[in-house]
């Protein structure tokens, strides 16, 4: 247990020790080597880098250097990332054996290891992380602590104003004032639908009930999205603090966080954070003698996309099949075990401490008229700088894809960006200048979603992509309501038919009709948004659908059944490699003479094209 005074002592002392993390000119002989411990960098062996660095420090009797495992820095494409502070030198794509040079050259000789510096898209060599174009247009609020602190050390969180917002709420504000700040900030739900957070809080506060609950939705199911995971891995205490503030505001003393079991690092760090907060007496009974109690528990998901839907999530916390409930009543009135329950997602919570500390106006000054603050996106797919990006609302897609993301690799052209995952839509080039906010994305047939942003180049077939999302929905539909369970299956069958080259023009009308019916008649958000990928591709890439139907060709060359392999006689040298590799003997030809493919026999496996040394085979 620590008293408020003791916590303040820690804050002052540790903050001074950590000055070198944020101040390049910090007056210290110490150095901190920060190594990314997010899931991406961990997969690329960052724990071994840490081990090696620590071993070398010990072997060399170096006493003024510490190695710290942090959360995600954001630029996953250049991971594992290592940063040396206070001089703020940024090393990219570091391998375990590079620890030798970092210690021998950087630490011992005080020289930069030039070969480990990062190259920007324009090939210029960058010394500091924020010199990269990737970071120039970003503004980090939710991700503020990620890559700065050790997420497994509560003192480091406290040092950077951690739990100060909670203190402010408990001692200076009443619940209504807290809710007013959140309302005035303009913060809206970051899970996808964008419901005003302050409103949700006030509904839950007004609801009658002897017991109320606060829930954090960390069931980040959109494939290709990893914002919430990175927040939990990089700054778990931010979420705990925000849930406690929410508990104080709505009158709840028990919280649950529902996390995907597929995120073991996030689960482990969050549990460590809960344990530390309990040890410090921040979580528990009669916190800081204010009479406010709060307890927090982790509940693991078990791999069901639908559990990201709030009522399905509640069912799952209660230990049942995650099937959505009928709304109303909304969780604010009847949630967990029928009690008033507040549910927000991870990123929404991560914004709260900053809003309380800096005020509503500070937050509402960022962003657009209807969408305030920042949004974190997981930028992935065919883009150079894959990673985590936090930008003010109103930033355009073009800025994210080209300025921050560094454009499309391999000299290919941009074709579409997909936001909102299986619930969102594909955005074509003509709408790249759309400012990102809830309304604008909705107006062009997509949605904000939780923050997955997948970029696709011109080698991607939009019909095939729509099919991919429908396969996902069919798989993940919980089966409770008919439009979603059967409707999406029928849509998938039609898409399959088109991709196989058996589509007819009236299929497109059928698809549209089905889609609209499913949207209208489904019980929950999963079904109501499932047709979006099909509708948006039909709207912007209808020609591509028609090419599959009328000409039986896939312009992008992705649909296997429609591929026609052809050997260019001018390029073929008659080496016979394709003939030997064809599994069905569909290729014939004399040595040193151009070969030909028998279309009737060809199974379109592509083995010939892969093997041809002269790139003579095209589809």
Contacts with other proteins, residue ranges (CB under 8 A): 39-40, 43-44, 76-77, 79, 221-226, 229, 261-263, 299-305, 316-322, 378, 380-382, 386-387, 418, 421, 452, 454, 456, 460, 465, 468-469, 472, 478
Between residues 44 and 532, which has the closer beta carbon with respect to other proteins?
44
Q: How far is the CB of 379 from other proteins (least distance, A)?
A: 9
Q: How far is the CB of 116 from other proteins (least distance, A)?
A: 18
Taken in order 607, 609, 610, 614, the sign of the CA dihedral is: positive
Number of helical H runs and strand E runs in the chain: 28, 19
- The alpha carbon of residue 177 and the mean position of all alpha carbons in its chain are separated, in whole angstroms, by 32
Classified as helix, coil or strand, 511 is helix
Phi, psi for residue 63 in degrees, rounded to 5: -110, -15
d(CA 409, CA 384): 6
Beta-carbon neighbour count of residue 29 at 10 Å?
A: 8
Between residues 93 and 272, which has the closer beta carbon with respect to other proteins?
93
- Where do we find the tokens 């980040």? 220
Number of alpha carbons in the 13 Å side-chain half-sphere of residue 310: 25
Q: Is beta strand 254-259 parallel, antiparallel or unpaired with respect to 213-218?
A: parallel
Q: How far is the CB of 387 from other proteins (least distance, A)?
A: 6
Between residues 366 and 456, which has the closer beta carbon with respect to other proteins?
456
Between residues 77 and 165, which has the closer beta carbon with respect to other proteins?
77
Helices 532-540 & 462-476 angle (0-180, nearest 10): 170
Length of the chain counted residue by residue:
619
d(CA 228, CA 337): 26
Between residues 316 and 374, which has the closer beta carbon with respect to other proteins?
316
State the distance between the two ends of the chain, measured CA to CA, in whole angstroms: 69
Q: How far is the CB of 216 from other proteins (least distance, A)?
A: 17
Between residues 202 and 477, which has the closer beta carbon with respect to other proteins?
477
Q: How far is the CB of 371 from other proteins (least distance, A)?
A: 24
Q: How far is the CB of 110 from other proteins (least distance, A)?
A: 31
Q: How far is the CB of 328 from other proteins (least distance, A)?
A: 23
Q: H-helix or E-strand containing 341?
A: strand 341-345
d(CA 274, CA 284): 10
Between residues 388 and 586, which has the closer beta carbon with respect to other proteins?
388
Q: H-helix or E-strand containing 343?
A: strand 341-345
Q: How far is the CB of 450 from other proteins (least distance, A)?
A: 12
Q: How far is the CB of 318 from other proteins (least distance, A)?
A: 5
Between residues 44 and 202, which has the closer beta carbon with respect to other proteins?
44
Burial (0-12, 13-18, 19+ Cβ within 10 Å), 171: exposed
Between residues 226 and 540, which has the closer beta carbon with respect to other proteins?
226
């Amino acid at each position: 247990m620590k008293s408020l005074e003791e916590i303040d002592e820690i804050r002052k002392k540790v903050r001074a020790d950590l000055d070198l993390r944020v101040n390049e000119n910090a007056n210290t002989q110490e150095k901190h080597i920060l190594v990314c411990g997010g899931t991406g960098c961990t997969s690329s062996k960052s724990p071994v880098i840490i081990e090696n660095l620590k071993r070398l420090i010990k072997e060399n009797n170096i006493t003024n250097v510490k190695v710290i495992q942090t959360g995600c820095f954001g630029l996953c494409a250049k991971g594992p990332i290592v940063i040396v502070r206070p001089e703020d030198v940024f090393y990219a794509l570091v391998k375990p054996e590079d620890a030798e040079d970092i210690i021998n050259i950087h630490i011992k000789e005080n020289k930069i290891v030039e070969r480990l510096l990062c190259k920007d898209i324009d090939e210029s060599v960058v010394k500091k992380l924020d010199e990269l174009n990737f970071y120039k247009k970003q503004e980090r609020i939710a991700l503020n602590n990620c890559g700065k602190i050790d997420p497994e050390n509560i003192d480091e969180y406290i040092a950077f104003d951690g739990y100060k917002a909670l203190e402010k709420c408990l001692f200076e504000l009443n619940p209504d004032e807290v809710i007013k700040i959140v309302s005035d900030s303009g913060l809206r739900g970051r899970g996808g639908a964008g419901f005003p957070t302050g409103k949700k809080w006030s509904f839950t506060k007004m609801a009658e009930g002897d017991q109320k609950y606060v829930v954090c939705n960390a069931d980040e199911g959109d494939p290709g999205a990893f914002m919430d995971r990175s927040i939990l891995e990089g700054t778990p205490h931010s979420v705990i603090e925000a849930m406690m503030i929410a508990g104080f505001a709505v009158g709840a003393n028990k919280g649950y966080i529902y996390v995907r079991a597929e995120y073991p690092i996030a689960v482990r760090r969050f549990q460590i954070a809960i344990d530390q907060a309990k040890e410090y007496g921040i979580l528990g009974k009669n916190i800081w003698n204010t009479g406010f109690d709060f307890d927090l528990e982790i509940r693991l998901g078990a791999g069901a996309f639908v559990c990201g839907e709030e009522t399905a999530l509640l069912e799952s916390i209660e230990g049942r099949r995650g099937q959505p409930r009928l709304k109303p009543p909304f969780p604010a009135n009847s949630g967990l075990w029928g009690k008033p329950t507040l549910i927000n997602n991870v990123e929404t919570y991560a914004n709260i401490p900053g809003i309380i500390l800096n005020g509503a106006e500070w937050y509402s000054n960022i962003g657009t008229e209807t969408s305030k603050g920042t949004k974190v996106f997981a930028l992935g797919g065919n883009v150079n700088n894959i990673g985590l990006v936090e930008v003010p609302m109103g930033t355009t897609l073009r800025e994210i894809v080209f300025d921050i993301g560094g454009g499309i690799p391999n000299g290919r052209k941009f074709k579409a960006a997909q936001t909102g995952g299986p619930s969102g839509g594909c955005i074509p080039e003509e709408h790249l200048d759309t400012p990102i906010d809830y309304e604008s994305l909705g107006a062009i047939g997509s949605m904000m979603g939780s923050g997955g942003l997948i970029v696709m180049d011109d080698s991607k077939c939009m019909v095939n992509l729509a099919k991919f999302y429908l396969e996902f929905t069919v798989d993940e539909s919980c089966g409770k309501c008919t439009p979603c369970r059967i409707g999406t299956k029928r849509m998938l069958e039609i898409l399959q038919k088109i991709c196989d080259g058996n589509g007819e023009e009236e299929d497109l009308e059928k698809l549209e009709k089905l889609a609209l019916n499913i949207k209208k008649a489904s019980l929950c958000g999963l079904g109501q948004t499932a047709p979006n990928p099909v509708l948006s591709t039909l709207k912007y890439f209808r020609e591509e659908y028609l090419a599959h139907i009328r000409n039986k060709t896939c312009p992008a060359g992705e649909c296997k059944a429609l591929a026609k392999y052809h050997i260019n006689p001018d390029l073929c040298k008659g080496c016979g490699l394709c003939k030997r590799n064809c599994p069905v003997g569909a290729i014939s030809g004399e040595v040193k003479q151009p070969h030909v493919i028998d279309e009737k026999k060809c199974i379109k496996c592509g083995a010939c094209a892969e093997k041809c040394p002269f790139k003579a085979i095209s589809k």
